[in-house]
């Protein structure tokens, strides 16, 4: 299964689609699952995962993807990344003079450089599970269009859940010509989930007593281990 395009007019989401510069991972379909049941499970984790915070999508998606894998064995879970074209390293020179149009979501999250959410992949469909921007499971096209501003372009990339963040350059632009994400100067994985757990905990609790923070960390660790 691959899932990529660079266009605001049409987003490919079928298995036969051509991967954008070969950046997508190939993820074989898993067992069928009711997407609504996966989404409701994700929603039920709102007591420990903040779905309103605009700045922790990479950590939220990392933990959520693992939690879904554990709760629904046999289901194939991936991550779908969407990155605004103006923050792609290959377009850096072009956007020195061109207007930067970022991604958006409902509410206050209207200046996203990128967004990422888990997807569930079956033989019939690829469904995005993103309680941070949606109130139900969504098809790839629908999810993508809601994040695009009029006149904007973006790249969408289907990747394995092991990737915590994409490779970026010195200006924090997505290195979109780097086919191997592991070939990065900085780590793009979070194998022990420590980076994700730390960010999600701080977003959910803010400044709070250390023992309460430890309890929250413990709950998150139980989700992923």
Residue with tokens 């993103």: 130
CATH number of the domain residue 115 falls in: 3.10.620.30
| Rounded Cα distance, 116 and 196, in Å | 13
Statement: residue 167 has pLDDT above 50: yes
Strand partners, 79: 118, 159
Question: What residue numbers bound the domain in which 93 lies?
Answer: 5-224
Residue with tokens 């298995």: 15
pTM score, whole prediction:
0.89
Predicted pLDDT at 102: 92
Measured in residues, the chain has a length of 225
The total number of structural domains that make up the chain = 1
Mean pLDDT for the chain overall: 87
DSSP class of residue 74?
T
CB neighbours of residue 38 within 10 Å:
21
- Starting at the edge strand that comes first in sequence, how are the strands of the sheet with 138-139 ordered? 5-6, 154-159, 76-84, 114-121, 126-128, 138-139
Statement: residue 196 has pLDDT above 50: yes
């Amino acid at each position: 299964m691959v899932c990529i395009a660079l266009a605001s007019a049409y987003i490919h989401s079928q298995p036969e689609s051509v991967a954008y510069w070969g950046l997508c991972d190939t993820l074989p379909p898993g067992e069928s699952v009711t997407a609504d049941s996966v989404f409701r499970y994700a929603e039920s984790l709102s007591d420990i995962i903040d779905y309103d915070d605009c700045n922790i999508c990479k950590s939220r998606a990392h933990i959520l993807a693992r939690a879904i894998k554990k709760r629904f064995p046999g289901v194939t879970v991936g991550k779908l990344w969407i990155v605004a074209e103006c923050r792609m390293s290959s377009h850096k020179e072009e956007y020195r003079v061109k207007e930067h149009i970022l991604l958006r979501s409902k509410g206050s999250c209207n200046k996203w450089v990128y967004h990422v959410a888990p997807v569930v992949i079956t033989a019939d469909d690829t469904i995005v599970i993103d309680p941070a921007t949606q109130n139900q499971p969504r098809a790839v096209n629908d999810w993508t269009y809601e994040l695009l501003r009029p006149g904007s372009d973006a790249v969408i990339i289907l990747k394995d859940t092991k990737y915590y963040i994409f490779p970026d350059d010195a200006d924090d632009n997505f290195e979109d010509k780097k086919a191997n994400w592991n070939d990065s100067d900085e780590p793009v994985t979070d194998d022990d989930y420590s980076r994700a757990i730390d960010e999600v905990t701080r977003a959910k609790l803010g400044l709070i007593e250390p023992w309460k923070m430890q309890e929250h960390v413990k709950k998150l660790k139980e989700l992923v281990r």
